[in-house]
Amino acid sequence: MPPGHRPTKSVSRARQGDEERLPAPRPARGPQETPPPAAREAPPRQPSPQRVPRESESYQPESKLSAQESRLLAFEARWWRASGAKTQAISDELELTPERYYQHLARLIDHPEAAAEQPAVVRRLRAARDQRRAER
């Protein structure tokens, strides 16, 4: 058939009949035969033993921050294009006044758990606080 020529429906029907007469595909060569389905299944996994930290390793327990404190840090991690949008979001999402929000945040950035959970946010807020104190 010339390139770009579309076959007619009668040709495609003829080809469908040819496909039925094709031989079945050959199995793979060599001694590598497919194992029966039961042999291919993985054995059930055994639960791994819990790892106990050594005395020399520092062990950090789960975060001791409350859910609200975690929400405050996650909220502060977001970027805002306008301060009015952030102020409105504080009221809508956190159900706090902006004054109470910033009071909670000021206390929160001194906790080591907060620094472990959101280190970049805490560093940024501490640097801004230190800069304001130095300007006085």
Residues 106 and 94: their CA atoms lie apart, in Å, by 16
Identify whether 53 is part of a domain: no
Q: Tokens 């301060």 appear where?
A: 83
The 10 Å Cβ neighbour count of residue 62 is: 6
Identify whether 12 is part of a domain: no
Name the pLDDT band for 56 (thresholds 50, 70, 90): very low
Identify whether 93 is part of a domain: yes
Q: Is pLDDT above 70 for 57?
A: no
Identify whether 23 is part of a domain: no
Identify whether 29 is part of a domain: no
Identify whether 14 is part of a domain: no
CB 60 within 8 A of CB 116: yes
Q: Is pLDDT above 80 for 47?
A: no
Identify whether 46 is part of a domain: no
Q: Is pLDDT above 90 for 54?
A: no
The total domain count for the chain is 1
The pLDDT assigned to 48 comes to 57
Q: Of the ranges 19-28, 67-76, 114-123, which one carries the lowest mean pLDDT score?
A: 19-28
The pLDDT assigned to 83 comes to 80
The pLDDT assigned to 7 comes to 60
The pLDDT assigned to 80 comes to 85
Residue 64 carries which DSSP code?
-
Average pLDDT value over all residues in the chain: 77
The pLDDT assigned to 136 comes to 84
Identify whether 130 is part of a domain: yes
Residues 30 and 129: their CA atoms lie apart, in Å, by 73
The pLDDT assigned to 82 comes to 87
Q: How do residues 87-130 score in pLDDT, each as one tens digit?
A: 999 999 999 999 999 999 999 999 999 999 999 999 999 999 99
CB-side neighbour CA atoms (13 Å) of 14:
5
Whole-Å CA distances, 17 to 6, 7, 59, 77, 113: 19, 15, 71, 65, 72
What is the identity of the amino acid at 122?
Answer: V
The pLDDT assigned to 64 comes to 86
Range of the domain at 74: 67-135
